[in-house]
Structure 1
Amino acid sequence: MAKLTIRFEIRKDKINKDGYAPISCMLSIAQQRKRVTTSLRVPPINWDTENQEAVYVKIGKNSNQSFLMKSDVSRTNSLIDSIRSKFIFIEDSFKHSGKNYSVEDVFAEYNKSKLGTGIKAQKVEASKSSVVVFIDEYIERNKAIRAKRSLGVYSQLQRHLERFQHHSGKKVTFDCIRLSFFEEFQSYLIEETEINNITIAKQLSTLKTVLGYARRDGVQMDQSYRDFKIKKQKLEVITLTEGEYQSIKNVDLNGVSRHEKARDIFIFLCATSMRYSDYAQFRREHIKGQTIQLTMKKGSKPWGIPLNSDSISILEKYKELEKPLPSISNQKLSKYIKEVCQIAGIDTPIEIVRFRGSEPIKTVHPKYKLISAHTGRKTFCTLSLERGASVEMVMEWSGHESYSSFKRYVNLSKRHSISQMGKIWGEATVMKAS
């Protein structure tokens, strides 16, 4: 009687958008062949054709290729071995019974088994796996293609989940995720940590993102968590007024170099809407005539910024440098800008309100303490609108693609609001007391 031959191979002709190819199992008896699909997928770089198994390959930091981590490789090979063992067991059963059998008979018997094609085993294993471990694997898998700062939010969530597990005595696995878990985790963050509602909302939102990744990766879980509504507090928008902007431009800094450079860079950010990350990558080759042409660091989108009198005057001041502007770290720039704003007398008291649960936490700060490098971008958007530019034009200049994100950058003054009402509806006269 002919022997059953079992061979595993990947279908490079069916690579999905994430760069993963399906693993199939080819059964052969005499001249009969049968291809059996499995739920397993691997990037082609992680497949050893000769040995018919997944292998770990160390990928360089600058590579955009998909790849498996060591734990993924081990799990994949374990499931391959399970499938192979099941086919061998079925063939042995036929042999011992003395029955003739074909490749279709083997396949039919295999189909009856609870293991199936490995799909059920994989889903059960995944649903009972740790969310904390999944986050760790996600960070490892994406650290070559994601900015370190953007992955930091996942590390923060991981730490909060670990502390929640210790506090509650419950392991957070995918099969325990549901609406009630979100309610319990939110209560823990409010009652047992020092973080405010804004940070709590960020943690819950990140957890939903993680669950979305896992769901698309084939992990089964209760979908009721998607009905959990995250309450987000509207943040204060700190920008400079026209008068404050002019004060910074004209303030006497007594020749202090760090203040002069920080003020000039900040004025440039206010006049161009640049983020710090774009200032950090700004080179002379990006200056094209009367515009700056570069690719945004955030979102990797091509961006054209028209120059104006304020931005050109700063570039002229430093035209002897190799780079267009002096180099200062984000932390030092924000520190020195605060000092410059304090010297310029930008000290209006600003009340900041945060919530922990339903309890408001109010603090009052002089305005200069709330200024950072990113205030420049918000100031650009606000002053451009107050000076008469349309919303559409300012969004084009600043590179915003949606109004919902743009409006978070705008803080129009009450004086501007009153002035615009007067222009549209006529000037108001002060009412006399009756």
Structure 2
Amino acid sequence: MITLNFYIETKPKTVLQDQPIYLHVTRLVKNKLYRINTRERVNPKHWNPKTQRAKASSAGAFELNERLDGIKKHITELYRNMVNDNTAITPDEFITAVKNYFDPQPDKSLFDYIDTYIQTQRTQIKPQTIKKFQVLKSHLQRFEIKIRKPISFFSIDVLFIEKFLQYLIEDRGLINNSAHKLIGIFKIFLNWATDRNLNTKLDYKRFRRKKSMAETEIIHLTREELELMFGADLSGNKKLSNVRDTFCFACFTGARYSDVSQIKAEDIKGDAWYCRTIKTETLIEIPLNDYALEILDRHKGERKPLPSISNQKMNVYIKELCKILGFDEPIKTVRYRGAERIETTKPKYENIGTHTARRTFVTLSLEQGMRPETLMKITGHTDFKMLKKYINLTDKVKKSEMKKAWFREPRLKVYNNEL
């Protein structure tokens, strides 16, 4: 294990002015001392060489000693992380990482590194994900203007993230969920930079999201609404007929719209769809029920198994269709911006989008008795926590389940027969 000590110059001609505090790293390599400037300074008469800290009686001693404690803790954690990492690390690489902690590379800004991340990850992440990092960069640039000082890896700690989160909510008007998603994107970038020794300050890892004040409402179609849509006579409107078939196919298979829109004839074998998901790139065998097979049969002989409609247009057209079908039940949604409760009520059709189909499949399948483990095999969810957010059991089903679980046997009447 390495040894870390703090020292200052104490030559006679230097005792009257503040001196730099150096970090001495030993036992990294036998008989070798590494001397690194911490960028902290102290007057020698206020320095205690035995404790290697500022004297408690001197002005600013508490804050300086806290920073020195933080430096020692960080360098120790950095060493442990590198030792525990599967990748071999040389002493010189470790010392370079330590120096970068005190002197972040001046030739590149944080925003340059975000650009580097986007450029190097283009073949690994999807265009919509790249856009999220571009949005993050834009918000950080505006935040830098607001705080009037450059943002670097060295400046990012829990307090910085808390202030940035507050800025996103109060200044940019984001609701809590959207702001926290951006923080999640930010941490993905910081993890990438840390893995490549571009960032050596690990304080950001201690930031934890507080539990949401309200769960996101899960909007889905009822079985009656789905049956009505499936059987509606749309022969006079080819556009909405195609929209209905594509949307209903997603409702009856539980697939994401990104996968439904890319379905190919060769993926369908008998009564199963072998779907290579775009999001996770895993191969899932999705059994095709009678409803899904009938939809495919409607488009038999066409160039593609299903009509091709962009996600953006689909979200517009499905609302139009649901409005025509009378799905206008008032739906109340609650969001939070900071502590502010934002409540809105809109007709149901305005809340319907492409992802409603997947939620509909999960909810109705559970209501109709499909086992969660079977459902997860079809949807591709890897654990129940991921599946749970789609579940929205109706009041009718909850009442039915309660009666089923707590059914009371009728009591037999006892008659007193006199002999």
TM-score of the aligned structures, taking structure 2 as reference length: 0.71
Residues 261 and 209 of structure 1, relative CA distance in 2, 3 Å threshold = same
Unaligned runs of 5+ in 1: 1-110, 430-434
**SS state of the match for residue 389, structure 2?**
helix
Q: Is 2:196 the counterpart of 1:217?
A: yes
* Cα distance, 1:155 vs structure 2: 0.9
Pick aligned residue for 1:343 from 313, 318, 324: 324
Q: Is 2:277 the counterpart of 1:296?
A: yes
Pick aligned residue for 2:210 from 222, 227, 231: 231
Q: Is 2:361 the counterpart of 1:363?
A: no
Q: Is 2:294 the counterpart of 1:313?
A: yes
Q: Give per-residue Cα distances to partners, 1:43-92, cap 9 Å, x unaligned.
A: xxxxxxxxxxxxxxxxxxxxxxxxxxxxxxxxxxxxxxxxxxxxxxxxxx
Q: Is 2:265 the counterpart of 1:275?
A: no
**Retained in 2: the 8 A contact 1:201–1:232?**
no
Q: Is 2:135 the counterpart of 1:191?
A: no
Q: Give per-residue Cα distances to partners, 1:119-161, cap 9 Å, x unaligned.
A: 6666655466532221111001111232111111111110110
Residues 155 and 232 of structure 1, relative CA distance in 2, 3 Å threshold = farther
Residues 388 and 115 of structure 1, relative CA distance in 2, 3 Å threshold = closer
Alignment length (residue pairs): 317
State the partner residue of 2:45. none
Q: Give per-residue Cα distances to partners, 1:85-105, cap 9 Å, x unaligned.
A: xxxxxxxxxxxxxxxxxxxxx
Residue pairs, 1:57-136, within 5 angstroms:
126=104, 129-136=108-115
**Retained in 2: the 8 A contact 1:251–1:343?**
no
Residues 323 and 225 of structure 1, relative CA distance in 2, 3 Å threshold = same
Residues 336 and 132 of structure 1, relative CA distance in 2, 3 Å threshold = same
**SS state of the match for residue 249, structure 1?**
helix
* Cα distance, 1:236 vs structure 2: 1.0
* Cα distance, 1:250 vs structure 2: 2.8
**SS state of the match for residue 409, structure 1?**
coil
Pick aligned residue for 2:383 from 373, 384, 402: 402
Residue pairs, 1:128-167, within 5 angstroms:
129-167=108-146
**Retained in 2: the 8 A contact 1:422–1:428?**
no
Q: Give per-residue Cα distances to partners, 1:244-274, cap 9 Å, x unaligned.
A: 1122123343621111110111111100111
* Cα distance, 1:213 vs structure 2: 1.0
Pick aligned residue for 2:394 from 413, 422, 433: 413
Residues 360 and 117 of structure 1, relative CA distance in 2, 3 Å threshold = closer
Residues 336 and 399 of structure 1, relative CA distance in 2, 3 Å threshold = same
Q: Which amino acid aligns with 1:337?
A: I
* Cα distance, 1:190 vs structure 2: 2.1
Q: Is 2:306 the counterpart of 1:325?
A: yes
Instruction: Write the distance in 1 (CA, Å) between the matches of 2:288 and 2:169.
Output: 47
State the partner residue of 2:368. 387
Q: Give per-residue Cα distances to partners, 1:14-56, cap 9 Å, x unaligned.
A: xxxxxxxxxxxxxxxxxxxxxxxxxxxxxxxxxxxxxxxxxxx
State the partner residue of 1:253. 234
* Cα distance, 1:164 vs structure 2: 0.2
Q: Which amino acid aligns with 1:136?
A: D
**Retained in 1: the 8 A contact 2:100–2:200?**
no
Instruction: Write the distance in 1 (CA, Å) between the matches of 2:93 and 2:223.
Output: 70
Pick aligned residue for 1:242 from 220, 223, 247: 223
Residues 323 and 427 of structure 1, relative CA distance in 2, 3 Å threshold = farther
Q: Give per-residue Cα distances to partners, 1:218-260, cap 9 Å, x unaligned.
A: 1344333222222353211111111211221233436211111
Instruction: Write the distance in 2 (CA, Å) between the matches of 1:224 and 1:310.
Output: 53
**Retained in 2: the 8 A contact 1:182–1:225?**
yes
Instruction: Write the distance in 2 (CA, Å) between the matches of 1:193 and 1:322.
Output: 46
Q: Give per-residue Cα distances to partners, 1:280-328, cap 9 Å, x unaligned.
A: 2211100111111121111100110001110000011111112111111
**SS state of the match for residue 353, structure 2?**
coil
**Retained in 2: the 8 A contact 1:127–1:175?**
no
* Cα distance, 1:421 vs structure 2: 1.6
Percent identity, aligned pairs only, is: 36
* Cα distance, 1:427 vs structure 2: 6.7
Pick aligned residue for 2:187 from 191, 204, 208: 208
State the partner residue of 2:42. none
Q: Which amino acid aligns with 2:300?
A: K
Over the residues paired in the alignment, what is the CA RMSD in angstroms? 2.3
